[in-house]
């Protein structure tokens, strides 16, 4: 009976680890996509050009 | 939303499998000591049979996905192929492990190389292992996908062979307990626990396939984002 209990627990733990791996792979990819999108040039704010009033006057 | 649904289905299946183990170990009726060498080990049947059932579902998904990719170039088909291979590997290993534990107790050996059912199912699991490891080792592309899809399509022939193996060439593996005529009858309580196991494993495999398809989709999205950034 002991070996059977060990085998059952081993199977349950293995399947639990597999399930956890699936969750962590999904979360890891989501975080990496968020990070890439944050640094994507498309998402960077457009630069604002401040004109120097004095330069206008010189022209 | 879809992600949360897939996660919930997977967790529900996992809890169901845990409940099946509890029922099998502590609530299922004992079998006759005259019928089995190791009656206690027979309880592994409530895990082994549903795991094999779930493996057949996974290999079915692998077959359909391989066909959709190979003949229609369907992106959904490729995701189903990847998910079917991963789910087939997980459930195939569960089936083999539980079978080997039972074989050790009942037969005195974990594996019988002369038994057709054992060997065809072992080949199926090996096919899933090859597809999972092969995909990780190769760069993604049409040729790679075509090659692995071909294996998914032709490898499926092992599923019906495995199913009928104990009917045509029964060597050591027991015959069918469901749909196997009078020799495969189960009493009511046993049948209920087996049904709970089958439902739990089906829910688990469904959640696993949905999650795996989502992971493949995320991998492809990440790759296209990185390619777009490289071009800038």
Through-space distance between the first and last CA atoms of chain B, rounded to whole angstroms = 32
Please give the Cα distance from B156 to B89 (Å, whole number).
14
Measured between CA atoms, the residue of chain A closest to residue B22 is: A8
Give residue B93's pLDDT: 93
Lowest-pLDDT range, A54-58, B19-23, B64-68? A54-58
- Find the mean pLDDT for residues A37-58: 62
In this predicted model, what pLDDT tens digit does every residue of B29-44 receive, in sequence order? 877 666 676 777 788 8
Q: Do A26 and B44 touch (CB under 8 A)?
A: no
Comparing alpha-carbon positions, the chain A residue that sits nearest to B232 is A41
Task: Kindly report, residue by residue over B80-138, the tens digit of the pLDDT.
Answer: 999 999 999 999 999 999 899 888 888 888 888 888 888 899 999 999 999 999 998 98
- Choose, out of B2, B200, B221, the residue to mutate when testing the contact with A (most A CBs < 10 Å): B221
ipTM of the complex: 0.76
- The chain-wide mean pLDDT, for chain B, equals 87
Predicted pLDDT of residue B145: 95
Distance from CA of B130 to the nearest CA of A (A): 18
- Average pLDDT (B61-65) is 96
Task: Please tell me which residue, B188 or B74, carries the higher pLDDT value.
Answer: B74
Chain A contacts of B7, Cβ < 8 Å?
Answer: 23, 26
pLDDT above 90 covers a percentage of chain B that reads: 52
CB distance B82 to B152 below 8 Å: no
Token pair recorded at residue B32: 């006759």
- pLDDT at residue A48 in the model: 57
Query: Is A12 close to B229, i.e. CB distance below 8 A?
Result: no
Test mutation, A1, A2, A3, A4, chain B, max B CBs within 10 A? A4
CA separation for the pair B68, B34 (Å, rounded) = 50
Task: For A2-34, give the DSSP string.
Answer: HHHHHHHHHHHHHHHHHHHHHHHHHHHHHHHHH
CA B99 from chain centre, in angstroms, equals: 13
Those residues whose C-beta lies under 8 Å from the C-beta of residue B165, and which sit 6 or more positions away, are: B116, B117, B120, B173
């Amino acid at each position: 009976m002991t070996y059977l209990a060990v085998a059952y627990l081993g199977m349950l733990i293995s399947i639990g680890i597999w399930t956890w791996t699936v969750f962590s792979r999904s979360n890891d990819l989501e975080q990496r996509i968020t990070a890439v999108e944050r640094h994507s040039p498309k998402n960077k704010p457009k630069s604002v050009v401040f004109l120097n009033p004095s330069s206008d006057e010189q022209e | 939303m879809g992600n949360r649904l897939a996660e919930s289905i997977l967790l529900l299946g996992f809890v169901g499998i845990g409940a099946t183990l509890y029922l099998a170990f502590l609530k299922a009726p004992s079998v006759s000591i005259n019928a089995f060498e190791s009656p206690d080990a027979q309880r592994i049947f409530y895990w082994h049979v549903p795991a094999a059932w779930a493996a057949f579902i996974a290999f079915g998904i692998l077959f359909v996905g391989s066909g959709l990719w190979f003949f229609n170039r369907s992106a959904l088909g490729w995701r189903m192929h990847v998910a079917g291979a991963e789910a087939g590997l997980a459930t195939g290993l569960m089936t083999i492990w539980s079978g080997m534990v039972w074989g050790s107790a009942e037969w005195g050996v974990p594996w019988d190389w002369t038994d057709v059912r054992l060997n065809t199912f072992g080949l199926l699991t090996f096919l899933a292992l090859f597809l999972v490891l092969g995909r990780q080792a190769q760069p993604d592309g049409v040729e790679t996908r075509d090659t692995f899809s071909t294996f998914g399509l032709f490898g499926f022939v092992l599923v019906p062979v495995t199913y009928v193996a104990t009917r045509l060439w029964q060597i050591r593996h027991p015959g069918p307990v469901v749909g196997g005529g009078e020799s495969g009858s189960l009493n009511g309580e046993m049948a209920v626990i087996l049904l709970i196991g089958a439902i739990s494993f089906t829910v688990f495999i469904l959640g696993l396939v949905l999650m795996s398809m989502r992971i493949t989709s995320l991998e492809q999205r990440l790759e296209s984002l990185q390619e777009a950034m490289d071009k800038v």
